[in-house]
Chains A and B, each alone.
Chain A
Amino acid sequence: MTVPSSRSRPHSHPPHSPKIDFGRAFLTVRLLSDRLSWRLDGRALILMLVLLGLTAALAGLSLLSGKYPIALDQVLWALAGKGEDMVRMIVVEWRLPRVALAILLGAALGTSGAIFQSLTRNPLGSPDIIGFSAGSYTGALMVILIFSGGYYETALGALAGGIITATAVYLLAWRQGVEGFRLIVVGIGVAAMLSAFNAWMIREADLAVAMAAAIWGAGSLNGLGTEQLLPVALMLCVLLPLTLFLSRPMRQLELGEDAALASGVDAGRTRLLLMVLGVALTALVTASAGPISFIALCAPQIARRMTRSAGVALLPSALTGGLMLLAADWAAQHALGVQLPVGVMTVSIGGVYFLWLLIREGRK
């Protein structure tokens, strides 16, 4: 996830370079004779380890619980490829893919939220501002209500709707370059039209069909498995490293267009690339599980408050997102006795935790 430690060497200060006091602990990692280097914040590093630990624990709990409760030792045997066939099938083929999907999709949402909040320099920034969510819902609604399509048709419709909308917003905001504020306003306009159209379609449709469409619209992991896990994992293997490579120019861009240009960052190209990556990450989630809301908005802000960093950070946001979706999916399946779409839970759990953070912050 971070850096192969075998190839890193401790940062030694040449006698002439003064040691800078950043006011907090840092770990510097240099690779390939200084061509790649990271400076890792001590607090963020510890937080990420804690998040990983919590995610692992919760993943374990998710593997244990369900209609057929399975003991911990049996789960471990099953994961090692041993034990009863029945138990192995439940753990490895049914529960594990869903757990992995929850973590991966949550991480994708957290990352894409961090990208958009950094780009807009606005804590309300999310992929929604470029109209993606409203557009994908329009696409999915048309497929469900007009063509009564199944899982794959709906995913395709959502993808098409979202990508067409995002492209349209970008082009409409284009005028010798895309300026942040204009992009936001155009996004608001287009999203408002599509949301109105969506509300009208839901209202006109047959009640039962409309409710099925609304369940897709809430975002759900019900019925997902190995079939979806492989493409999602492959896509993330490409998208996440690409995003991390852009994390430095992204920081520069937060200082404003001029400051970024002055420090040698191609602002226009970086912004476009980041936006494409952010949309691709959201698209991946929307296509596989529907538009799970709120994690993209909330995870970067939660991570920022826990690391006490100045801006939103990519990796902590990704890990927070993964943990949030995993927790929400566990609660959606087991907490209330009825199976609810996970999107309903993400807003409740994420929102309550976020409120608690805000209150604690206010006490300081």
Chain B
Amino acid sequence: MMALSVDAGDRAAAVKRVQTRSLAMAVFGLVLLVVLSLSSLVLGARPVAVSTVVDALFAYDGNLVDHIVVMDYRLPRTLLSLLCGAAFGVSGALIQAATRNPLADPGILGVNAGAAFFVTLAVGLFGVQSIDAYLWFALLGAVLVTLAVYGLGMAGGTMAGRGGATPVRLVLAGVALSAVLGGIGSSITLLNPQAFDAMRQWSIGSVAGRNMAVVIAIGPLIGIGLVIALLSARSLNAVALGEDLARALGASLVRTRILTLLAVTLLAGAGTAACGPIGFIGLMVPHAVRWFTGPDQRLILPMTMIYAPVLLLIADIAGRLVLYPGELEAGIVTAFLGAPVLIALSRRRQAGGL
């Protein structure tokens, strides 16, 4: 039980304790990221020595198979894990904070459904068959459908909403439009074996088999999204107190909402376009992080930015080892690694709601 009255000294000490713990966790997480990134370059069906990895990075020789493996296969997927991990995690944290709904995941605004629908169309109607081409269809779909969801969620009303109805309406509009597109998409795939085959692969989500062009295409989008996210952390803290209090505190609800939604679209859209839907990261990591940092978004967002890529990197590396020399997609491994951690954390005594 929490004591209702805490005197100022205790309060300051408690804040200090959280800050120290968060700093320690951030440092630990960053070290972990470096170690994992290096392991991701080294480990796989064809193990490469650390010294060779360093050579490949700084003195690339296109005649050596090991160098090609590192630069053309392992480096893109490592960078993708870092970028998309952060993107999925932070977009999840943002959407949970903005809608104040713990069940919200980045897919809720129609990002996943839009991306999947356009990839289905690309395969089913246009016969497109390469992951690089999927990228652009998926990105286009994610952006168009998210825009449509905003339009529907706001139809007739303003962003400020009345009595806080807007976030709920937005979420419901996202769910409904996702369902419609999902229904049309599955009637296409159920009647077209080739599309079904492509979608059962794409919908699992993986960072493997993407080249450097994919990284370069989505890198800037994710970078902008992350910066916007960090800048809106303060206002999101105000939003967490409820619409009226947030207004009273001087936070601009409209601006916060527009910025948050823009960031979610950029992050989740780019992430899903590159890797397919690995939605569980966005649901899980913010919940897990919140139980250590408390409800302050200025801590939650940076910590998510560190630990979400940690989860995706571990999942990708573990996926290369469990079926050695075959591979299991990161989208599958993420759930099996992340879910037990999430469940164990939720059973701790201190764990609370949003």
Which of A173, A347, A362 has a CB less than 8 Å from the CB of B179? A347
Q: Which residues of A contact B156 (CB under 8 A)?
A: 359, 362-364
CB–CB A192/B169 < 8 A = no
Assess whether A190 is in contact with B343, with CB atoms less than 8 Å apart. Answer: yes
Cβ contacts under 8 Å, B343 to chain A? 172, 185-186, 189-190
In-complex Cβ contact of B176 among A189, A358, A361 (8 A): A358
Docked-complex contact A344 and B187, CB < 8 angstroms: yes
Q: Is A351 an interface residue (CB 8 A)?
A: yes
Take A196-B336, A210-B196, A364-B156 as given contacts and tell me if A215 and B180 are in contact as well, using a CB distance cutoff of 8 Å. no
Tell me if A301 and B339 are in contact (CB < 8 A): no
Contact of B335 among A196, A202, A301, A348 (CB under 8 A): A196
Q: For A193, what are the chain B residues with a Cβ–Cβ distance below 8 Å?
A: 335-336, 339
Q: A207–B200 Cα gap in the complex (Å)?
A: 10
Interface residues on A, range: 35 or more
B203 and A199 contact, CB distance less than 8 A: yes
Q: Is the interface of B mostly helix, strand, loop or mixed?
A: helix
Which A residues lie within 8 Å of B48 (CB)? none
A24 in contact (CB, < 8 A): no
User: Which of B187, B189, B353 counts the most A-chain CB atoms under 10 A from its CB?
Assistant: B187
The distance in angstroms between the C-alpha atoms of A364 and B158, with both chains bound, is 12
CB distance from B121 to the nearest CB of A (A): 16
B196-A214 in contact (CB<8A): yes
Whether the pair B101, A344 counts as a contact (CB closer than 8 A) is no
**Given A208-B193, A210-B200, A358-B152, 18 other A-B residues pairs in contact with their CB atoms under 8 A:** A123-B168, A184-B103, A185-B342, A186-B343, A188-B342, A189-B340, A192-B284, A193-B336, A196-B334, A196-B336, A293-B179, A301-B172, A340-B187, A341-B190, A348-B179, A351-B176, A355-B152, A362-B156
B residues adjacent to A (C-beta < 8 A): 101-104, 152-157, 168-169, 171-173, 175-177, 179-180, 182-184, 186-187, 189-191, 193, 196-197, 200-201, 203-204, 280, 283-284, 287, 328, 331-332, 334-336, 338-340, 342-343, 346-347, 351-354
Residues on A facing B (Cβ under 8 Å): 122-125, 129, 172-173, 175, 181-182, 184-186, 188-190, 192-193, 195-197, 199-200, 202-203, 207-208, 210-211, 214-215, 218, 293-294, 297-298, 301, 336, 338, 340-341, 343-348, 350-352, 354-355, 358-359, 361-364
